[in-house]
């Protein structure tokens, strides 16, 4: 028995020592230390030995198996570290190499302004209009008739408004005020909405004018809405958009669908009211048109002007953005020049 054990021991040590990598070491380990190994079978045969032999053989078996395990573990560590180092060397990443440049886009400055204004009016209780009440391709009825714009009014002239070919009475809306008419025809007061969107006018394109631009319309209709509410809301909007130190001025004006009407100026951002070329040396910049909804308009959309009143306003997104960031050419918003866009 002892001879057999020593024979296996010598053979096992030789094979373990001869292994050259994790794979061959694993093979040797299985051969000599696994459950079905010859060595293990000797352990199983212990029970058939005479009692006086058991302690000697038992301790010899234990001694040899821990000796072999120790040897396997030492070899394993050696091979493991060697193979790990080889792999790390092979898979090494040079972090100093240039990466692939993936340009990242961001929100267009006009959209940023719209988002900001929508948020400000959200704080003042205005919600965003449903898109179906604010279409860009519109019937004359909503862009003009229901807004009290007479048939012969110059704004309807093909010079200003884009009419759709072969489609009588269909226009590209010239103002977001079309949303007022649609909203009021389709819902009951209280109404408190804003409606941002594109508008189109047949203008000669210049640094100040483009034939596509963006407006934001607001409408508040309820019982007892007054000019005081209009002033309060729009002053608060200007304070939140331009900052608290910016004086405003309400000037009497005219729009067919509001009575009375006002235009609202903010003190010139560039010269602080002293007078410069941006404000045509007046010290003021016009930024909003507004007024109390004309009783005729309320009546035409089915709202009783004896019970309800309201105010409406409209503002230009390009103009507000240009003033805030001192941009001097409206065409920059539409040219897709990354050098401009990436500044926002």
Does position 255 bind ligand PHE by CB under 6 A? yes
197 sits near ligand PHE (criterion: CB under 6 A): no
Q: Please select the residue that binds ligand PHE; options are 313, 317, 320, 330, rule is CB under 6 A.
A: 313
* Binding range to ligand PHE, per CB under 6 A, among 20-28, 40-48, 74-82, 284-292: 284-292
Q: Does 189 bind ligand PHE (CB under 6 A)?
A: no
Measure the CA–CA gap between 151 and 155, rounded to whole angstroms: 9
Binding flag, residue 196, ligand PHE (CB under 6 A): no
The window from 47-55, 96-104, 239-247, 288-296 that contacts ligand PHE (CB under 6 A) reads 288-296
Say how far apart CA 303 and CA 122 lie, in whole Å: 25
Strand, coil or helix: 268: coil
Instruction: Please give the DSSP secondary-structure letter assigned to residue 326.
Output: T
Question: Cα dihedral angle (195, 200, 205, 210), rounded to 10 degrees?
Answer: 10
Q: Which range binds ligand PHE by CB under 6 A, 22-30, 54-62, 307-315, 326-334?
A: 307-315
Q: With binding defined as CB under 6 A, does residue 177 bind ligand PHE?
A: yes
Per CB under 6 A, contacts with ligand PHE among 204-233 are 217
Q: Should residue 109 be labelled a site residue for ligand PHE when binding is judged by CB under 6 A?
A: no
Q: Which 8-state DSSP code applies to residue 274?
A: S
Minimum gap (Å) between residue 116 Cβ and ligand PHE: 19
Contact 8, 38 (CB under 8 A): yes
**Terminal alpha carbon distance of the chain:** 88
Q: Which two tokens stand for residue 273?
A: 């009211």
Cβ nearer to ligand PHE, comparing 109 with 218: 218
Burial of 86 (0-12, 13-18, 19+ CB in 10 A): exposed
- Which positions touch ligand PHE (CB under 6 A)? 175, 177, 217, 255, 258, 289-291, 312-314
């Amino acid at each position: 028995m002892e001879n057999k054990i020593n024979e296996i021991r010598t053979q096992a040590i030789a094979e373990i020592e001869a292994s050259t990598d994790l794979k061959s070491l694993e093979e040797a380990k299985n051969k000599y230390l696994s459950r079905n190994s010859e060595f293990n079978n000797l352990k199983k045969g212990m029970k058939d030995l005479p009692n006086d032999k058991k302690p000697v053989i038992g301790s010899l078996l234990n001694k040899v198996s821990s000796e072999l395990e120790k040897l396997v573990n030492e070899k394993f560590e050696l091979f493991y570290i060697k193979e790990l180092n080889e792999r790390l060397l092979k898979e090494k990443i040079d972090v100093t190499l240039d990466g692939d440049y993936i340009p990242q886009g961001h929100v267009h400055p006009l959209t940023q302004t719209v988002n900001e204004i929508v948020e400000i009016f959200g704080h003042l209780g205005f919600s965003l209009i449903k898109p179906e009440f604010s279409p860009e391709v519109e019937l004359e009825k909503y862009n003009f008739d229901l807004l009290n714009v007479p048939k012969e009014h110059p704004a309807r002239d093909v010079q200003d408004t884009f009419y759709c070919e072969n489609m009588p009475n269909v226009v590209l809306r010239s103002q977001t005020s079309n949303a007022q008419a649609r909203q009021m025809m389709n819902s009951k007061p209280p109404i408190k909405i804003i409606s941002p969107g594109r508008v189109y006018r047949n203008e000669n394109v210049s640094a100040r004018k483009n034939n596509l631009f963006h407006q934001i319309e607001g409408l508040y209709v309820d019982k007892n809405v007054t000019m005081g509410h209009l002033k309060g809301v729009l002053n608060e909007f200007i304070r939140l958009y331009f900052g608290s130190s910016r004086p405003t001025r309400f000037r009497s004006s005219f729009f067919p669908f509001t009575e009375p009407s006002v235009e609202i100026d903010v003190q010139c951002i560039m010269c602080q009211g002293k007078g410069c070329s941006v404000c045509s040396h007046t010290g003021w910049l016009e930024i909003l048109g507004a007024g109390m909804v004309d009783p005729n308009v309320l009546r035409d959309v089915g709202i009783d002007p004896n019970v309800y009143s309201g105010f409406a306003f409209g503002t230009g997104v390009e103009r507000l953005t240009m003033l805030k960031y001192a941009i001097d050419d409206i065409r920059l918003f539409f040219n897709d020049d990354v050098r401009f866009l990436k500044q926002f």
